[in-house]
């Protein structure tokens, strides 16, 4: 399975000049734990960073809450961004995510334009569905074997 087949296509995005408070409101409005920081070029959005709810809580609120209202997304975003191409295999990207200790990756086209987002939650949901199907198959085969023995 490819990343493009599994990723979520609706992505919460912000620009780097927006405030951290605006980014937090965007996360709340979209019920997500991160926003992708984008730059628009030629009508396409290109990811230039990511800001997570954890970045806000651990990196700002816990350290320096007095400056929260004045900080922009560009001040605090993670700009060393790991991305995944749509055609990459889920297994490859999962290995990369695990080795880098990240939970979410923006999914991009061959040109680098934002196409979606893939999270560990998406991977877990996919694996659960696969395991459920496998368990049903095993149960079905066991049931057939029992009936054949009678």
Reduced to 3 states (helix: H, G, I; strand: E, B; else coil), residue 49 is strand
Question: How many structural domains compose the chain?
Answer: 1
Look at residue 32 in the predicted model and tell me its pLDDT.
96
CATH of the domain at 8: 3.10.580.10
Sign of CA dihedral 89, 92, 93, 94: positive
Contact 74, 48 (CB under 8 A): no
Sequence-ordered strand ranges (E) for 3-99: 13-15, 34-41, 44-52, 84-85
* pLDDT tens, residue by residue, 113-133: 999 999 999 999 988 888 888
* pLDDT tens, residue by residue, 30-80: 999 999 999 999 999 999 999 999 999 887 877 777 777 888 999 999 999
Query: What's the mean pLDDT when you consider all of the chain?
Result: 92
The pTM assigned to this predicted structure is: 0.84
Q: Find, among 116, 147, 134, 144, the residue nearest to 6 by Cα.
A: 116
Range of the domain at 98: 3-149
* Strand bridging mode 84-85 / 104-108: parallel
DSSP letter at 113 equals -
Contact 44, 38 (CB under 8 A): no
Determine the Cα–Cα distance for residues 53 and 34; give it in Å rounded to an integer.
Answer: 6
């Amino acid at each position: 399975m490819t990343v493009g087949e599994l990723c979520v296509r609706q992505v919460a995005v912000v620009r780097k000049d927006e405030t951290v408070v605006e980014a937090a409101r965007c996360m709340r409005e979209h019920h997500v734990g991160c926003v992708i920081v984008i730059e628009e070029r030629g009508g396409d959005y290109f990811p230039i960073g990511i800001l997570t709810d954890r970045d806000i809580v651990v990196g700002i609120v816990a350290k320096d809450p007095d400056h929260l209202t004045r900080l922009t997304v560009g001040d605090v975003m993670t700009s060393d961004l790991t991305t995944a191409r749509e055609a990459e295999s889920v297994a490859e990207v999962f290995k990369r995510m695990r080795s880098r200790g990240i939970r979410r990756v923006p999914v991009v086209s061959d040109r680098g334009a934002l196409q979606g987002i893939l999270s560990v939650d998406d991977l877990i949901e996919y694996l659960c569905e696969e395991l459920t199907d496998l368990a049903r198959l095993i149960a079905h085969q066991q049931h057939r074997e029992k009936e054949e023995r009678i």
